[in-house]
Structure 1
Amino acid sequence: MNDQDIRDLFAGLGPVTIKRMFGGKGIYYEGLIVALEVDGEVLLKADAVSAPEFAAAGSRQWVYAGHPGRKPTAMPYWSIPDRAVDDRDEIAVWARRAYEAGLRSKK
């Protein structure tokens, strides 16, 4: 996914900053990481409060395979719910949840 597509996806949240990282991209809003782009897929940040909402919406948690011989690690990032992929208003709701998870993790 190119940077302009990412900016368009997050337009309902506000202007985002995109930085290359870990072979993908980190997506930041107001200085907090809210999402990752990995292998062309955007994954939204979640935490103990919001992860159950992502799961209930049918999202899947990103599991980092890591290096050979190491155990895969579940990361605090979730796929965008299917119903939000093509709905700008709905993706704004999920992006806001990702930002709120970022705020909580900062405390």
Structure 2
Amino acid sequence: MLAPLGGVSVRRMFGGLGLFREGLMFGLVARGAPSLKAAPDERAAFAAEGGAPFSYAWADGRTTVIASCRRAPDRLGDDPEAFAVRARRACAAARGADRAKPARRRRAGDPTG
């Protein structure tokens, strides 16, 4: 389902898989469920479809919540075209979040940094 994006790499993280494109994380797959980066103005739409923020419980009892990464709606699992559209928007959200960082914290290779 990620093939239409091209250039996606996968790394282990949070007990699952981090999804990266152009050096930026745009999603996670953990506990069998995909979560995608969401711009602030998209988070309400995710919530309306049950898209809770991604959370991870550490062995020491702490919990990490990544508010910008939301569980993808179940309907996307049955619709590869809609999933690709949403994944492209997640990539755009990742680029936007990276641009908003101070220049010293931007990813290497970012032309705006």
Aligned pair in 2 of structure 1 residues 68, 21: CA closer, same or farther (>3 Å)? closer
- Tell me whether 1:22 sits opposite 2:1 in the alignment: no
Moved more, 36-45 or 91-100: 36-45
Relative to the length of structure 1, the TM-score reads 0.75
Superposed structure 1 runs of 4+ greater than 4 Å apart: none
Match of 1:79? 71
Q: Kindly indicate whether the alpha-carbon contact (under 8 Å) linking 1:50 and 1:97 is maintained by their aligned counterparts in 2.
A: no
Match of 2:30? 38
Match of 2:55 among 63, 85, 88: 63
Distance 2:43 2:34 in 1: 16
When Rg is computed on C-alpha atoms for both structures, the one with the higher figure is 2
SS in 2 for 1:49: helix
Match of 2:98 among 94, 98, 106: 106
Relative to the length of structure 2, the TM-score reads 0.72
Distance 2:33 2:65 in 1: 16
AA aligned opposite 1:20: R
Number of residue pairs aligned between Structure 1 and Structure 2: 98
